[in-house]
Chain A
Amino acid sequence: MFNYTFHWRPALQALPQMLQGTLVTLQLAILSMIIGVAFGVVLALMRQSKNPLIHFPATVWVEVARNTPALLQIYMAYFGLGQLGIRLDSFVALLIGITFNNAGYLAETFRGGLRAIPQTQTRAARSLGFGAYQAFTLIVLPQLFRVVFHPMTNQMVWAILMTSLGVVVGLNTDLTGVVQDLNVRTFRTFEYFAIAAVLYYLIAKFVTLGARLLAWRLFRY
């Protein structure tokens, strides 16, 4: 059945380079999550506003992020901003694209989470003499964090998978980019990408497992 001879040895010899790329992948994913969470919180709060000037831009952001492909958003950062005179290298463009996407999805996660915390919790806190800010930070926020923890973990995994799109705008330092460079030189496409697939799988499982352990430590109630 196989007229093809697999060449795993050279592919495995490139493992150190790939692990180097893995670090870049993780760096991208983590940065895009941290900035994405910050923007996501702001967007969620903006969408609660009754003022259309505040509400509308946030809604546009969230709907565009959720209703167009992530790759289109990355193209926007890479080609689109370029036309406006903002020349970005592919790393930054990818980071902006993924962050934009993360923030849109996380904003919806946070909005849903806020709705899941009953109003009566705030009421009970206020009845004890807490001010509005204290009631939010001491009572609502810790409960919100638990509600959104699992969806945030999923988003993190998606962010990792999305970083692979960097290769489409010419990034050659992340895991997919490194592997693509090797592939172009050797044409051993299957071997190199199979190893990359295993690495991505391991990262994803590592993140999921880590998050589960963290949740188990954090949420004892």
Chain B
Amino acid sequence: MIEIENVKKSFGSLTVLDGVSLSVNTGEVVSIIGGSGSGKSTLLMCINGLEAIQGGRILVDGVEVHAAGTDLNKLRQKIGIVFQQWNAFPHLTVLENVTLAPRKVLKMSRAEADAIAVRQLEHVGLGDKLKAFPGKLSGGQQQRMAIARALAMSPKYMLFDEVTSALDPQLVGEVLDTMRLLAKEGMTMIVVTHEMGFAREVSDRVAFFKSGKIHEIGSPQQIFESPQTPETRAFLNSVL
């Protein structure tokens, strides 16, 4: 379970998160929607401790992420994250991209890591690209590889940070399909996205972010069909 309690975060004088609270139960899929610059992505970076926070706290399975004694490397092993700019490691093959962390962080044997990686890569439809270098792949393929890379660590939670925003329109579908599959398998997911149709289809709950706060949260039906506030309505009108 991920519990976010009244989290505050600012870069200098710019307040990005202004008291965000949200709990995500195991097996749940929560989508976060909202305009750009509303702090959605920053929240994900805070959950796995890539960004510091100035107030409140975040608990992952009861462990406080930003407490002084927390072993972040250990914590991050159970939180997978996929970035907008997939961040493939260009000097490693697709297979090596996926096996590196299991081997070096989880200390698996090469054979063990290879087996897991091949399974994950086949899962995302890249079974035939094992020996290719990321530079030779399309953006959609690289993004699916990044998903497999995160999944190879067998995380309990998956965070998706606008993973389709930097993709050509015709490549968005293949990545969303992969995520859909994952949701169906019961993965706990927090998905920051601009894909409203997708958010509506796979989410258990949808949160609307505005100026560093969760402005409205509820079931997809409630958010998309009968939004409670004029701001939510205005935002949805602008994107739908």
- Using a CB–CB distance below 8 Å, which chain A residues touch chain B? 120-121, 123-131, 134, 138-139, 142-143, 146, 219-221
Alpha-carbon separation in the docked complex, A130 to B92 (Å): 16
Q: Are B83 and A124 in contact (CB under 8 A)?
A: yes
Alpha-carbon separation in the docked complex, A16 to B111 (Å): 54
Q: Are B77 and A129 in contact (CB under 8 A)?
A: yes
Alpha-carbon separation in the docked complex, A131 to B50 (Å): 12
Provide the residues of chain A in CB contact with B237, threshold 8 Å.
none
Closest Cβ neighbor of A142 among chain B residues: B91
From B74, B76, B85, B91, A128 is in contact (CB under 8 Å) with B76
Provide the residues of chain B in CB contact with A130, threshold 8 Å.
73, 101, 104-105
Closest Cβ neighbor of B159 among chain A residues: A127
Q: Known contacts A127-B150, A129-B73; can you find 12 more A-B pairs with CB under 8 A?
A: A124-B83, A124-B146, A126-B50, A128-B100, A129-B101, A134-B105, A138-B100, A143-B90, A219-B91, A221-B92, A221-B133, A221-B135
- The answer to whether B87 has its CB under 8 Å from any CB of chain A is yes
Q: Are B100 and A129 in contact (CB under 8 A)?
A: no
Chain B's nearest CB lies how many Å from the CB of A19?
39
Provide the residues of chain B in CB contact with A125, threshold 8 Å.
89
Q: Are B50 and A139 in contact (CB under 8 A)?
A: no
Q: Mark B74-114, 1 if CB is under 8 A from A, else 0.
A: 10110111010101011110000000110011100000000
Q: Are B73 and A146 in contact (CB under 8 A)?
A: no
Q: Size class of B's contact patch?
A: 20 to 34
Closest Cβ neighbor of B76 among chain A residues: A129
- The answer to whether B232 has its CB under 8 Å from any CB of chain A is no
Assuming the A-B contacts A127-B76, A128-B153, are A139 and B89 also in contact, with contact meaning beta carbons closer than 8 angstroms in the complex? yes
Provide the residues of chain B in CB contact with A126, threshold 8 Å.
50, 73, 76
* A-contacting residues, B53-84, CB 8 Å: 73-74, 76-77, 79-81, 83
Chain B's nearest CB lies how many Å from the CB of A125?
8
Provide the residues of chain B in CB contact with A129, threshold 8 Å.
73-74, 76-77, 101, 105-106, 153
9 of the cross-chain contacts (CB-CB < 8 Å) are A120-B85, A120-B87, A121-B87, A121-B89, A123-B87, A126-B50, A127-B80, A128-B100, A129-B101
* A-contacting residues, B118-168, CB 8 Å: 133-135, 146, 149-150, 153
Q: Are A146 and B91 in contact (CB under 8 A)?
A: yes
Chain A's nearest CB lies how many Å from the CB of B160?
12
Closest Cβ neighbor of A130 among chain B residues: B105
Alpha-carbon separation in the docked complex, A139 to B135 (Å): 16
Q: Are B87 and A124 in contact (CB under 8 A)?
A: yes
Most B CB atoms within 10 A — which of A120, A124, A131, A146? A124
* A-contacting residues, B22-64, CB 8 Å: 48, 50
Chain B's nearest CB lies how many Å from the CB of A152?
17
Provide the residues of chain B in CB contact with A139, threshold 8 Å.
89
Provide the residues of chain B in CB contact with A138, threshold 8 Å.
100, 104
Provide the residues of chain B in CB contact with A143, threshold 8 Å.
90-91
Alpha-carbon separation in the docked complex, A126 to B48 (Å): 10
Closest Cβ neighbor of A221 among chain B residues: B133
Alpha-carbon separation in the docked complex, A131 to B92 (Å): 19
